[in-house]
Structure 1
């Protein structure tokens, strides 16, 4: 392998700590390598509604309980097992391996799944049996998830595990197009697994998840130098989207639905701001930059203790060419929701219609503003590409997306 062993070992050790719910070589040839796959990008999956989400309660090793979706738990199960398997195959001690299996058993129990008998792992030559244990087609963890939960939960378990396995097994091939080149064959298999499991994971809107997983797929397909940061970025982004998905489902399934918020004269104006990204798609970057928060706007929206920090955060974010609000051509409409900043400060029922991250933002907001979230959706759908933090200050509109990330 060309990547320094220390770099990868450090990567997996770091993720081993983060993977539980205590937060939020010829010898490597598999028995059935496959015949290679097309190198086209995975397409956004058509889905008329969000995936069915059930709630599970996890009890971690410290006895603390955490309520999450079955989809998030399945994702976490794949992560936990993949890290345990990889660390053991790389020479980790038995105690650490058993600890990882114990954490995984707690997650599996909440999902009503009993783990199959774990493999004996003595060296990297055993890594394929480790992957089969987690993501194989027969009596694997993911196969049992498919039986006890759903096919999308099974795919999420496989997807998170395969992101980890690609961090270990991928390396650029000296003959990427040669059908009999060992590393090229492994790389094709990795890409195939990532694509299939991504599609089968059934994200309600696949545009954001696609952007999260695509850099990793392109890195492997283009035979570039391996980079563990790409794997880590994909893991973090997809996990964040699963958390947002759960929040949205919890809000819509509330037993005491919040009454529709009263209309406000600003609502129509805010919707026009968002609709320009549909009618003037060729100006997406220009329109985005027009919403960049100024220092004065930050001082008006936020309290003094965080205003400067927030300004610096968005000054850097908007300075990146990747900061573009770009709905796909399938998105034809805008759904808008506005909430007074006073509700976000007080944490009222109305505030719960916003992403959960605003619970941390509320104490830092100034009163008297109306903050919007807007979603670009396909005709007839309610879920789509969502942005939040649109607010009018002194006659100009600004966008503070995911404001909780700026408020530390």
Structure 2
């Protein structure tokens, strides 16, 4: 039977048999591109869209705990490996460690991080444009791709309020270095 098929018919049969494979290959390429894009975002410190909602909820949970008592920040004091993970160079890690010890030693306790009436929480970051300018000036001290977050307590309907920054997430664990850019001041 195969010998009876003319050359054009054989080509058409091959194309027909390959059509499902071509669709499958296109689907796999699309899936691969989507997966690659998600991995690239994660590697750059940028959350995937679905993960961004989870990150925001986690940051709001931290902000709520600090609203109760700023002394709760000790729950998010960074460990040495966490500091190393966000530091560009060894010297940067040393500066951050010294800054963390000083900051947590002088941490106010028994008071809210928010002012009375500031019941709204807005998450800021990882876009550096949303964070204090010190981060843009000192970004070379942080490992490339490090995502920095913060949050703002505001009164309903207002845009200004108490702002906190220096939230980092490494290996699924959050830690807080308030105004971390100050560790590298002049």
TM over 0.5: same fold? yes
Structure 2 match to 1:298: 83
Preserved CA contact (<8 Å) 2:167 2:176: yes
Gaps of 5+ in 2: 1-46
The question of whether the paired residues in 2 share the 8 Å contact of 1:331 and 1:377 is answered with: yes
Give the paired residue count. Answer: 134
Map of 1:240 onto structure 2: none
The aligned residue for residue 404 of structure 1 is 181
Cα deviation 1:47-102 (Å, max 9, x = unaligned): xxxxxxxxxxxxxxxxxxxxxxxxxxxxxxxxxxxxxxxxxxxxxxxxxxxxxxxx
Where 1:388 maps in the other structure, the secondary structure is strand
SS at match of 2:174: strand
CA–CA separation in structure 2 for the residues paired with 1:335 and 1:358: 19
Aligned-partner Cα distance in 1 for 2:145–2:92: 18
Q: 1:309 to 1:325 in 2, by over 3 A?
A: farther
Q: Deviations over 1:215-240 (max 9, x none)?
A: xxxxxxxxxxxxxxxxxxxxxxxxxx
Residue 276 of structure 1 and its aligned partner are, at CA, apart by 2.6
Q: Please state if 1:270 is matched with 2:59.
A: yes
Q: Please report the TM-score for the alignment, with normalisation by the length of structure 1.
A: 0.31
1:393 paired residue number: 170
Higher relative contact order, chain-length normalized (CA < 8 Å, sep 6+) = 2
> Where does residue 98 of structure 2 map in the other structure?
312
Residues 1:273 and 1:313: Cα distance change in structure 2 (over 3 Å) = same
**Partners of 1:267 and 1:321 in 2: CA distance:** 24
CA distance in 2, matches of 1:308, 1:363: 15
RMSD: 2.3
Distance across 1 between alignment mates of 2:123 and 2:115? 18
Following TM superposition, by how much is the alpha carbon of 1:385 offset from its aligned partner in structure 2, in angstroms? 0.3
Per the TM alignment, residue 305 of structure 1 is displaced from its structure 2 partner at its CA by 2.4
TM-score, normalised relative to structure 2:
0.63
1:284 aligns with one of 54, 66, 70? 70
Map of 1:329 onto structure 2? 116
* Aligned residue in 1 for 2:130: 353
Q: Give the Cα separation in 2 of the matches to 1:367 and 1:328.
A: 35
Structure-1 separation of matches of 2:99 and 2:66? 23
> What do residues 188-232 of structure 1 show as CA deviations (whole Å, max 9, x unaligned)?
xxxxxxxxxxxxxxxxxxxxxxxxxxxxxxxxxxxxxxxxxxxxx
Where structure 1 has 5 or more consecutive residues not aligned to the other structure, the ranges are 1-260, 340-349
Distance 2:144 2:158 in 1: 33
Counterpart in the other structure of 1:375: 152
Q: Distance in 2 between matches of 1:378 and 1:262?
A: 30
Matches of 1:325 and 1:358, distance apart in 2: 25
